[in-house]
Every structure is written in C-alpha cells, then in structure tokens.
A and B are shown apart, each in its own frame.
Chain A
C-alpha cells in the first residue's frame, strides 16, 4: 500500500499496519542500523495545541534517524496569532521541510492541510478527530504483549471524547478481535463511531457495558483512559462516576494472570500506582514504544517520498489516532 499522508487509522489496511509494526520491531531490535538513515532530512513540527510528549517523541524519532526538526513554536508566538490560515501555514513550512507533523484543535485539520502540501503530513491529533500515530504505537504494544489476533480487549473510560479510543477501535477491526467498551452511559462511544466500526469490521464483535466486572476475566488487554472532570456538571458527580472506572490490584484479582493493562498517559488516578510494579502494567512500555513506532513511520514516509536511499522496502502507511479530546496527550 501507499499513502501520501497519515490522516486517520481508517485508511490503514491490515497489511499497512503490519508493515509499520514490522519496521518498528526491526528498528527496536537494532536502532543503530538506522542512525544515519535520514541524515539531512528535516521534519516540521506544527503543534497548534500543547502536546509535550507527542512532540518530544517525534523529535526524538527524527533525530535517532539522523535527521533534525524545525519547530513552529507555540501558537502565541507565531503568525497564526496574526490570523494566518492553516492552509497558508502548511504551504509555507512544507517548503522548508521533508515532512510535517501536525496537531491542531479542529477536527479535520489534518485532512484539509494535507490537500495543500506535497510532502508527507502525519496527523498528530486533530481535535476530537484522529491520532493515528498513537494508534500504531498502541497496536505495537498490544502485539508485543498479547498478539493482535484472537484478541479480547476492554477499552474503558471516556469513550465519547477519546480520539485515542476511536482510532484504536477502527484499527482493531482489521484483526480478529472482540472489543468490549466500558464506560458511564454519558460517555459512551459516539454513534458515528459505532456506525463506522460496524461498517469496517464484519468480523469484529462489539459490545458496550457500563461496568468492567462482567467482562474483566475474559480480557487479554484492558485499555484505560482518563475521564475528565470537565465532562461533568459538578465535582461530586464526577467523583462518583469516575471512581467506578478506576482500577487497583484488588480490582484485578478477577483478571487473567496474562492481562495487559495499557493507558495512553498521562493518567490521573484511573490506575492505582500499585499496579505499576505488577506484570499487568504495560503503559510505560507503551509510552516508550512511541519512539520506534514513530521512527518506523517517518522512515516509511520519507523513503516513499524519495528523499532518501531506499533499502527496497517501499511502504508507507497511515492511520489514526488517539488523544483524549484535547487534553490527554499521550
């Protein structure tokens, strides 16, 4: 497959995903082999809303490939502040760089921006929309810990606003998975997403629940996301509801010994710190996987785009994403 840009996880086929994950595994196993692979290549970082970790991991990934980054800086200090359109901004910056990474508060921003540029554009979050690079690192983590086929996964927390969740769910429809969605009723998956999941994955089984307990013992992976205070009218209601979707070692007594617990981070109190030291915890590993997976993506897109020496592999990919409605920021 070939993609010019990475906008959403919906654009990714199973083969696309496997190409990225295989490449990430190669890089992970021998990072030195690619240390000069993209020497002289420049990546433009366009972050219209703060996202320290996503930005840092892209920067790290590019530098570990031998390249460098140029950073637009904060919106406050940029020409955007003066009212420049996104379309103009990307058309200017693409002239400086070999690829662009964009995070923007508006849904559809990456899709629109990609229509104005020729260099590869990777979506690093578009409002409540998509965050495909997060999805790929989530998939990589799932593959390493549980495998992607014959998978039973529980996705819990804020499923309404969590773009991470939507993107991951779409991508998983490429595999033989049973997906359980666990959330308070007010934060259920949007109907649009349910519609798409049914459209995409004939074999995907989707179930929605309001509690973890009935499905916990069947899960291979439990993916926890943060429930944000501002989704609730008052503090009391928030505490009451959010409290039902927090896990600790006692909660996990009913789980399989092989359960893998993931979280896009940052967490607040959805996962008790006591879980960190158990074999369940994979969320720090997940965070670290951001680098090899983003290296793989940059490598595939830059190679495909002909900025460098090929090794014969020509694949690119795309996908979707993650992010929790503006605030969570893997």
Chain B
C-alpha cells in the first residue's frame, strides 16, 4: 500500500478512495449492498464505456456500511433521482463539474414517479401501446401503479423502464 499514497490526507487512508471525477455524479450513502441496483436504475452496465467506480460496504459514519457510486460524464436528472429514492432512500447526490461539487442534494422521496417504471401487470392499460406515461404512487414500503393499482414492494429495480 505504500506505493499509492497519492494523497497526503491520511485521515481518509483507511477509507476506500475511489478516484475523483471531473464531471459527473457521485451517489453517496447508498445502503450497503444496493450499489448494483443503483447502477441498474440508471441503466448503466458498462457496455457503453462509461467510467464508473463503485465502492461497496465501505465503512461509514451514518451507516455501519455504505455503498458509493461515481459516474463520470453523467448528471442525474430529477426523474432518475426520484427513482433512486425508492431503493436508496438515504442517498446523497453530488453533481460534479470540473472536479467541484456544484450541487449536493439529499434525496427526498417523491409522492409519485412518472415515466420511469413500467407496470408489471400484463392486464394494465399502460402496458398496451397506449400513449400514456406510467405513473406510480410512492408508498412507505413500495410503489403502486395509479392506473391498475397494483402494488409492488419488492424488486422495484426490475420495473425500471430501460426502453
């Protein structure tokens, strides 16, 4: 380890250092083990050459362990932030431009998420080629399609509309 103290600051030495990004998004304070779901939500699987760093089960003050995700060259939209709250309710999102954090917001659970998830109910009108945007009410423990009223509590990440 001696050969990689590129950073003088040794208070952070025992903390996993993922490289600083120039422009993009840092998603911090993701609950331990959820980082891959965060990437799934953002539709990032590495096939498009994005520069992504993931720290999993990193020691944290706020949680026993946290995950952290850094994505170079990608700023999250509000819609993406909204959906992220469903699986990472405590996350902090830092938008970075030219190595500086320009926006830092704590994620808040929205009342509804629109156009991001697709309804798992094959009999739902939103799944049938109609010109309608999906809409889910965010419940304390899940999401609910406002059209067919199906409640989903688990595997919400699987509903993310990647189309």
Contacts and interface: CB of A to CB of B under 8 A. Distances in A.
Interface residues of B, number: 17
A108 B129 contact: no
A107 B148 contact: yes
A128 B149 CA distance: 11
Contacts of B145: 108
Contacts of A105: 123
Q: Is the interface of A mostly helix, strand, loop or mixed?
A: mixed
B132 A129 contact: no
A106 B123 CA distance: 5
Interface stretch (A37-45, A65-73, A109-117, A245-253): A109-117
Contacts of B123: 105-107, 127-128
Interface string B127-144: 011111000000000000
Contact of A115 (B129, B132, B148): B132
B131 A87 contact: yes
B3 to A, nearest CB: 57
A105 B148 CA distance: 12
Contacts of B151: 191-192, 195
A278 interface: no
A85 B130 contact: yes
A85 B131 contact: yes
B128, B131, B146, B149: most-surrounded residue (chain A CB, <10 A): B149
24 contacts: A85-B129, A86-B125, A86-B130, A87-B131, A87-B132, A104-B125, A106-B123, A106-B124, A106-B128, A107-B121, A107-B124, A107-B150, A108-B124, A108-B125, A108-B126, A108-B146, A108-B147, A109-B125, A111-B125, A112-B147, A115-B132, A126-B125, A128-B123, A192-B149
A105 B131 CA distance: 17
Interface in A78-134: 85-87, 104-109, 111-112, 115, 126-129
A192 B121 CA distance: 13
Contacts of A85: 129-131
A119 B95 CA distance: 46
A219 B125 CA distance: 38
A192 B150 CA distance: 7
Contact of B147 (A111, A128, A192, A195): A111
Q: Is the interface of B mostly helix, strand, loop or mixed?
A: loop
A149 B52 CA distance: 62
A111 B126 CA distance: 11
Nearest to A192: B151
B65 to A, nearest CB: 32
Contact of A107 (B131, B132, B147): B147
B130 A129 contact: no
A85 B130 CA distance: 6
B130 A87 contact: yes
B114 to A, nearest CB: 13
A169 to B, nearest CB: 14
B149 A112 contact: no
Contacts of B132: 87, 112, 115
Nearest to A104: B125
A191 B129 CA distance: 28
A121 to B, nearest CB: 13
A127 to B, nearest CB: 5
B62 to A, nearest CB: 31
Interface in A126-149: 126-129
Interface string B111-125: 000000000010111
A294 to B, nearest CB: 24
